[in-house]
C-alpha cells in the first residue's frame, strides 16, 4: 500500500482490537488471575500502539499473536500443550479482510513463531496451507528463525500431559459431550489458544489465531484454528473472527464462514450472527467462544464456557481486560 496515500486516509477513531488467550472452565476459587490479566493488558496495549502508528490490521494481529505465543501462560508457541508423544504440534492461521489473502500452518514444532510462518505462507508462497515438515522446510527456505521442539515445552505442560496420560484422557481445554473427545473434569480444564482481531485506521480487518491444540492429542490431529473460514476468518464486508474451544465442533459449525454468511446473506448483525454460530457449536457438542469485530467497528465476544481470557479496545480507545462473562464488552 502506498504510504503517503494511507497517511491521508487514516482515521484513528476507526481503530478496534480484541485479543484472546483461550476459553475454558476455570476451577472454582482460581482467583483473579493477575498474571494473565497483566499479560493480556500489556499485549493489547502493544498492538494498539502499533495500530496508532498507522500499521495495518494484519500487522497488528500478527504482532499480538506473536507476543501471545511468547507468553507461557497461554496454549500457543512457548507453553503450547503437548501431544501423546510429548511433543508440541502447533497450528496457526492469519487472514486479511480486504482480499481474503490467507496463510496457515499445522503440526509445526520447529518454527519459532507459527503465526509468522503462517503470514509467510500467505505473502511469500503461492499456496495457503502447509503442514508438518513441509511447513518447516518452507520456513527454513524463507529464512525464518528455527528452534528445537524443546523450546516450546514448559514444566507445567509436562505435568499436564502426565496427568492426562494417567487418566487416559485427551484433555480438552473445555468440557465437551463430543463422544470422540473424552470429557474432562471441569476443575481440570485448562485454557488454550490465542488469537487477535483488529480494524485499522483505514477500516481494514484482519484475524489471526495460534494454538497447541489439545493435551495428549493423537499426533497429526488438527483442530479449527488453522482452518481458514472455521477458527480464523476475516472479510472486510462482514467481520474478523478468531475462535477458541472444541475444534472438532467449531469445524462442524463452519464457524467463521457461518458468521460471514449470516451477516452477508441474512442481514444479521455481528452479535446475532456470532451467537448463532456458537449455538451451532453447542449443538455439535462443543464449548468455547470467539472474538469478533465487524466492518463498522462493533465488537462481540460470546462464549459458552465459564470464562474467556480477553482484552479489547473499543471506540473509546481504552484497553480493557476481561475473564468472566460480566466483564464485557
Active-site annotation holds for 215: no
Instruction: Give the side-chain half-sphere CA count within 13 A for 23.
Output: 27
| Position closest to ligand ASP via CB | 247
Does residue 304 interact with ligand ASP by CB under 6 A?
no
Please say whether the beta carbons of 211 and 92 come within 8 A.
Answer: yes
- Pick the closer one to ligand ASP by CB: 209 or 300: 209
Number of other residues whose CB lies within 10 A of the CB of residue 317: 13
**Would you count residue 160 as binding ligand ASP (CB under 6 A)?**
no
Asked if 85 contacts 219 with a C-beta cutoff of 8 angstroms, the reply is: yes
Cβ distance to ligand ASP smaller for residue 17 or 76: 76
Interface with ligand ASP in residues 271-290 (CB under 6 A): 288
224 scored as a contact of ligand ASP (CB under 6 A): yes
Torsion of CA 144, 131, 305, 207, to 10 degrees: 50
Binding status of residue 107 toward ligand ASP by CB under 6 A: no
Of the residues 139, 203, 213, 289, which one makes contact with ligand ASP according to CB under 6 A: 213
Is the CB of 236 or the CB of 248 nearer to ligand ASP? Answer: 248
- The distance of closest approach from Cβ of residue 236 to ligand ASP in the complex, given in angstroms and rounded to an integer, is 25
Q: How far, in Å, CA of 69 to CA of 109, rounded?
A: 13
Binding piece for ligand ASP, criterion CB under 6 A, among 45-53, 82-90, 239-247, 255-263? 239-247
Pick from 212, 204, 190, 209: nearest CA to 64: 209
Name the catalytic one among 56, 171, 193, 301: 193
Sign of the dihedral defined by the CA atoms of residues 266, 286, 217, 90, in that order = positive
Which residues 6+ apart lie within 8 Å of 306 measured at CB?
Answer: 24, 25, 26, 186, 324
Cα–Cα distances in angstroms (integers) from residue 317 to residues 67, 120, 237, in the given order: 20, 30, 23
Question: Is position 211 an interface residue for ligand ASP (rule: CB under 6 A)?
Answer: yes
Evaluated on CA atoms 191, 271, 199, 319, the torsion sign reads negative
- 305 binding ligand ASP? (CB under 6 A): no
- Residue 224 beta carbon to ligand ASP: minimum distance, rounded to whole angstroms: 5
Q: Across the chain, how many H-helices and E-strands are there?
A: 9, 12
- Interface with ligand ASP (CB under 6 A), residue from 21, 107, 223, 229: 223
Q: In angstroms, what is the minimal distance from the CB of 117 to ligand ASP?
A: 17
Residues 245, 256, 289, 302: which binds ligand ASP (CB under 6 A)? 245
Q: What does R_g of the chain's alpha carbons equal in angstroms? A: 18
Helix (H, G, I), strand (E, B) or coil at 185: coil
Check binding of 188 to ligand ASP (CB under 6 A).
Answer: no
- Can you point out the beta strands (E) in 79-149? 90-96, 102-108, 129-131
Please pick, from the candidates 18, 19, 21, 22, the single residue that binds ligand ASP as defined by CB under 6 A: 22
Distance, in Å, from the CA atom of 96 to the CA atom of 85, rounded to the nearest integer, reads: 34
Which member of 56, 193, 215, 304 binds ligand ASP (CB under 6 A)? 193
- When asked if residue 225 is in the footprint of ligand ASP (CB under 6 A), the reply is yes
227 closest CA partner among 41, 48, 94: 94
Query: Does residue number 173 form part of the binding site for ligand ASP (CB under 6 A)?
Result: yes
**Which residue number, 252 or 260, has a Cβ lying nearer to ligand ASP?**
252
- Per the structure block, which three cell numbers stand in for 58? 494484519
Stretch that binds ligand ASP, among 62-70, 153-161, 220-228, 260-268 (CB under 6 A): 220-228
Segment interacting with ligand ASP, rule: CB under 6 A, options 56-64, 116-124, 221-229, 304-312: 221-229
Q: Which residues participate in catalysis according to the annotation? A: 193
- Residues near ligand ASP, by CB under 6 A: 22, 75, 173, 192-193, 211, 213-214, 223-225, 231, 244-245, 247, 288
Amino acid at each position: 500500500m502506498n504510504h503517503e496515500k494511507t497517511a491521508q486516509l487514516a482515521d484513528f477513531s476507526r481503530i478496534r482490537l480484541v485479543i484472546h488467550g483461550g476459553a475454558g472452565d476455570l476451577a472454582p476459587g482460581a482467583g483473579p488471575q493477575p498474571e494473565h490479566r497483566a499479560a493480556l493488558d500489556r499485549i493489547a496495549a502493544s498492538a494498539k500502539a502499533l495500530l496508532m502508528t498507522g500499521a495495518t490490521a494484519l500487522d497488528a494481529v500478527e504482532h499480538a499473536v506473536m507476543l501471545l505465543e511468547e507468553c507461557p501462560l497461554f496454549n500457543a508457541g512457548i507453553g503450547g500443550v503437548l501431544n501423546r508423544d510429548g511433543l508440541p504440534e502447533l497450528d496457526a492461521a492469519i487472514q486479511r479482510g480486504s482480499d481474503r489473502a490467507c496463510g496457515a500452518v499445522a503440526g509445526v514444532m520447529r518454527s519459532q513463531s507459527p503465526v509468522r510462518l503462517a503470514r509467510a505462507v500467505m505473502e511469500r508462497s503461492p499456496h495457503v496451507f502447509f503442514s508438518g515438515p513441509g511447513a518447516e522446510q518452507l520456513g527454513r527456505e524463507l529464512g525464518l528463525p528455527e528452534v528445537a521442539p524443546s523450546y516450546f515445552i514448559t514444566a507445567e505442560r509436562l505435568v499436564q500431559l502426565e496427568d492426562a496420560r494417567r487418566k487416559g484422557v485427551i484433555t480438552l481445554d473445555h468440557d465437551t459431550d463430543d463422544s470422540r473427545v473424552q470429557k474432562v473434569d471441569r476443575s481440570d480444564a485448562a485454557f488454550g489458544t490465542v488469537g487477535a482481531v483488529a480494524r485499522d485506521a483505514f477500516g481494514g480487518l484482519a484475524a489471526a489465531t495460534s494454538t497447541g491444540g489439545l493435551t495428549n492429542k493423537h499426533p497429526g490431529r488438527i483442530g479449527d484454528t488453522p482452518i481458514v473460514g472455521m477458527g480464523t476468518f476475516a472479510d472486510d464486508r462482514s467481520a474478523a473472527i478468531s475462535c477458541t474451544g472444541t475444534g472438532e465442533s467449531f469445524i462442524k459449525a463452519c464457524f467463521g464462514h457461518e458468521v460471514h454468511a449470516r451477516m452477508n446473506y441474512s442481514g444479521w448483525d455481528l452479535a446475532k450472527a456470532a451467537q448463532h454460530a456458537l449455538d451451532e457449536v453447542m449443538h455439535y457438542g462443543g464449548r468455547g467462544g470467539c472474538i469478533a469485530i465487524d466492518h463498522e467497528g462493533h465488537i462481540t465476544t460470546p462464549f459458552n464456557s465459564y470464562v474467556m481470557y480477553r482484552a479489547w479496545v473499543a471506540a473509546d480507545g481504552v484497553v480493557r481486560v476481561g475473564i468472566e462473562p460480566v466483564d464485557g464488552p
